[in-house]
Structure 1
Amino acid sequence: MAGAPVSSYSKTQVWLHWSIAALILVQFVAHDGMQHVWRALRRGQEAAAGDWPLAYMHVVLGLAVLVLAAWRLWLRSTRGVPPVSGMEHPALQLLARLTHLAFYALIFIVPLSGAAAWFLRVPGAGLVHGIGKNILLYVVLLHIVGALVQHFVLKSNVLRQMLAFRQA
Structure 2
Amino acid sequence: MAGTPVSSYSKTQIWLHWSIAALILVQFVAHDGMEHVWRALRRGQEAAAGDWPLAYLHIVLGLAVLVLAAGRLWLRATRGVPPVSGMEHPALRLVARLTHLVIYALIFIVPLSGAAAWFLQVPGAGLVHVLGKNVLLYVVLLHTAGALVQHFVLKSNVLRQMLALRQA
What corresponds to 1:20 in structure 2?
20
Aligned pairs for 1:1-168 (under 5 A) are 1-164=1-164
State the shift of 1:165 in Å: 6.8
Choose between structure 1 and 2 for higher RCO, CA contacts under 8 A separated by at least 6 residues. 1
State the shift of 1:158 in Å: 0.3
Could you list the runs of 5+ residues in structure 2 that have no partner in the other structure?
A: none
One-letter amino acid matched to 1:69: A
Cα distance in 2, alignment partners of residues 164 and 66 from structure 1: 24
TM-score with structure 2 setting the length: 0.98
Is this contact kept in 2: 1:66–1:111, CA < 8 A?
Answer: yes
Deviation beyond 2 Å, 4+ runs, structure 1: none
Q: 1:79-134 CA deviation, whole Å, 9 max, x = no partner?
A: 00000000010000000000000000000000000000000000000000000000
Cα RMSD, aligned residues only: 0.8
TM-score with structure 1 setting the length: 0.98
Q: Secondary structure at the match of 1:49?
A: coil
Could you list the runs of 5+ residues in structure 1 that have no partner in the other structure?
A: none
Matched pairs, number: 166
One-letter amino acid matched to 2:97: R
Cα distance in 1, alignment partners of residues 78 and 139 from structure 2: 25
Is this contact kept in 2: 1:14–1:165, CA < 8 A?
Answer: no
Q: 1:45-104 CA deviation, whole Å, 9 max, x = no partner?
A: 000000000000000000000000000000000000000000010000000000000000
One-letter amino acid matched to 1:130: V
Identity of aligned residues (%): 89
